Amino acid sequence: MNASMASGPYYHAETYKAENSIGHLIGRGYSLMLDCLEPAFADTGLTFTQWKILMNMRDGRANNPKQLCSLLRHDSGALTRLLDQLEKRELIERRRSLEDRREVELRLLPAGYDEVNRLLPMVVGLLNEAVSVFTHGEIDELIRMLTKLNVSMQGQLARSAGNPPPITGAGS
């Protein structure tokens, strides 16, 4: 039994309210973040979603469309259109994998790095504004707890699929 279950479950069907659900609060926070960030991208030449693609590629979190679909929760058709736009602007490159010709690999081109770096200060500024109600210690604790929640949920998904949970560090 893990430590959090030692005192019993936190949520109960009889008293459950959506406004106290971590899922609702995280989802609402993400929606509000999008509502703040998307308009900021209106005059940049990129959408926020396109920028997230470039960011995920820059950070090495995705090097193929399947990984991006999973990270961004996009269907492959919508993602293909976004990748077409980025490739047309010469921000990314798509090529067939040398190991498996059925697979497509993505590569961030120098202009893509430049776009990420050009817009990064704007995004960082907006995020800093959003978290300005917290101390640095509170932000660190929030990041630690959200990371712990994500690791727990990844383990739950792996167990439900019959797979061992992934090994993920606190800083992932």
pLDDT tens for each residue of 53-62: 999 999 999 9
Note whether residue 53 is domain-resident: yes
Q: What is the pLDDT of residue 165?
A: 56
From the number of C-beta atoms within 10 Å of its C-beta (0-12, 13-18, 19+), residue 11 rates as exposed
Those residues whose C-beta lies under 8 Å from the C-beta of residue 56, and which sit 6 or more positions away, are: 62, 67, 68, 71, 72
Q: What is the pLDDT of residue 102?
A: 78
Closest by CA to 53, choosing from 163, 41, 156, is 41
Kindly indicate the confidence band of residue 172, based on its pLDDT and cuts at 50, 70 and 90: very low
Note whether residue 13 is domain-resident: no
Note whether residue 148 is domain-resident: yes
pLDDT of 72 over the 70 cut: yes
Note whether residue 163 is domain-resident: no
Element of type H or E holding 92: strand 92-96
Q: Tell me the CATH number at 99.
A: 1.10.10.10
Note whether residue 161 is domain-resident: no
Note whether residue 137 is domain-resident: yes
- Give the residue numbers spanning the domain of 132: 18-153
Note whether residue 12 is domain-resident: no
> How many domains in the chain?
1
Note whether residue 166 is domain-resident: no
Residues in the chain, total: 172
Instruction: Let me know: does 106 contact 84? Beta carbons within 8 Å.
Output: no
pLDDT of 1 over the 50 cut: no
Q: What is the pLDDT of residue 103?
A: 83
